[in-house]
Structure 1
């Protein structure tokens, strides 16, 4: 009789929960450690997020398409839509690279000149010089994803901090507030907590943090199918924007690193971000320049581009990256498979297997 594999996942963000779901589907006995009081409460927080195929790297386009298919499986299981049909618009300096990435991966896209910009339904005072439509993008219903994955992991969650992870023989030991626990494999997907857990194991995970905040503003004239929008104007503020509720519009910005560095402090970083976003809204957007909500999180500094990195030492895997929510279903399955077979996945190897 084959012994059941015992695996630990540290971190109940969207990547950690996706890994838990995939490990359990593979027949593993799983324990998921989460230091916070709720799942998906830190970097995976919020009720909405952008999903897109558009990336400069064709491998990431292929992985996003694969992730969309898995989201579809989750939608069928949950009986609830998780990715909306709104599409995603890219404008500014990112257009050429993302158009090339979509084209190389065989994904659909369309370039729109200013004369046709009205049909984009963007809250822009002036139409972008050129826009790229990613028709397979849309708004992610984070609450739906949280409810589905949280239910699948509810009986294996342990809400307590992990103090250390140590390779031990053919497996590893997780030391938490309740004691020491032996596992055959450990996946560390703990976001900002990952560097402290794996740094002593020789894994080089970026450990410098920065503050990030996105703001919600009234958008009383918004059509219900207004697309997500990634805008990277030459010489202007790079923003990501999307509908976050009825007649609401959310704006997040890539700030000057000096203004949001960890040592600046959360209060000062939030104030600088608020000033920059409000100035941008007043100059470029038609939404009301009045903040009615905000969502704070930590990011890695300097800012990482899209994608992820998986590292291994013995039976311990660690993952880090940026903008991972849209790829989480694929990353979770890859981490689960790697925990079982001893491999170390990469975006390139996964994209090649996706075809």
Structure 2
């Protein structure tokens, strides 16, 4: 069986790795650097904590698969520092973890269990959370894909009598199945295969700041009502946030969105994080779909399968297994999270 994967982000490479282990003739198409767009940067937050019990359970399965990956890579892929959730969503997420049977604690802001760069009121502690080492995952997956990673921009995907044709420049190849997981580029490619995927885009920036001496160590990853924060490079704290949509709208352009995001994040650090110096030292840019949040979504038309969503890094090894099976048996995985009622 021949399978084409369109998109060489963390999901596309994870599926490629899973298919190669199954002996499949698979090719992964990526126009830019592997894991260079929505999978950019060297770190992310892992968490079991979600608003939906099914997402908590899926994250737990993914956590176990990360451990298997780490065994094969010869290094830990998640730094076990735990993740803290505070703000208005905390109680809902705690209820979802309880419903899923996941280990967690709910504490007040004075708890000695909290290790944060600022103050929280009540907080949910997810002990299985931590910092995903994207740099290590990238090395592992790129090495696993080997020469099956093809540097190519896919112009069209279309079903033909013999299978599914993938057109890239002056090259056209026919496959038995195609998976589209190209992030911001998925909608355009999928439309030619009869799939209507979300196409909204906005700019997103994550900024790192120096950690002051005397900060708790090691600090938890932290998700507040409108920010996410974690240890990035040694001695630096990464902060991302929900910015006024008018300031990061796609039509406003990247430079203006980056300036607005940088100003907002620096102001946040100044006001709320006494253990962090409000002096930007690094930043990571990516695109973001404002219409999507936590959730796994899938769509199929014939022999073409697509997956999309936000915050997918923490599900990468699980998505690799799920989508590899679906490519081979023609199934469509069930949606999870807020879209679960729309499953196929």
Query: What is the TM-score with the length of structure 1 in the denominator?
Result: 0.92
Hey, what does 2:280 align to over in structure 1? Answer: 291
Q: CA deviation at 1:160?
A: 1.2
| Residue 134 of structure 2 corresponds to residue 142 of structure 1 | yes
For 1:278 and 1:213, locate their aligned partners in 2 and report how far apart those are by CA, in whole Å: 12
Hey, what does 2:106 align to over in structure 1? Answer: 111
Query: 1:73-152, aligned counterparts within 5 Å?
Result: 73-116=68-111, 118-124=112-118, 127-152=119-144
For 1:276 and 1:196, locate their aligned partners in 2 and report how far apart those are by CA, in whole Å: 32
For 2:3 and 2:139, locate their aligned partners in 1 and report how far apart those are by CA, in whole Å: 23
Hey, what does 2:23 align to over in structure 1? Answer: 27
Q: CA deviation at 1:201?
A: 2.8
For 1:19 and 1:268, locate their aligned partners in 2 and report how far apart those are by CA, in whole Å: 36
1:63 alignment partner, SS class: helix
For 1:86 and 1:348, locate their aligned partners in 2 and report how far apart those are by CA, in whole Å: 26
For 1:178 and 1:39, locate their aligned partners in 2 and report how far apart those are by CA, in whole Å: 22
Query: 1:167-246, aligned counterparts within 5 Å?
Result: 167-169=159-161, 171-221=163-213, 222-232=215-225, 238-246=226-234
Query: Which stretch shows the higher mean deviation, 267-276 or 195-204?
Result: 195-204
Runs of 4+ displaced beyond 4 Å: none
Q: CA deviation at 1:83?
A: 0.8
Structure 2 counterpart of 1:17, from 2, 13, 18: 13
Query: Which stretch shows the higher mean deviation, 47-56 or 173-182?
Result: 173-182
Q: CA deviation at 1:337?
A: 0.6
Go from structure 1 to structure 2 and tell me whether the alpha carbon gap of 1:213 and 1:32 turns closer, same or farther (over 3 Å shift).
Answer: same
Hey, what does 1:323 align to over in structure 2? Answer: 311
Gaps of 5+ in 2: none
Does the 8 Å contact 1:171/1:314 carry over to 2?
no
Query: Which stretch shows the higher mean deviation, 265-274 or 201-210?
Result: 201-210
2:110 alignment partner, SS class: helix
* RMSD (Å), alpha carbons: 1.4
Q: CA deviation at 1:348?
A: 4.5
Does the 8 Å contact 2:298/2:335 carry over to 1?
no
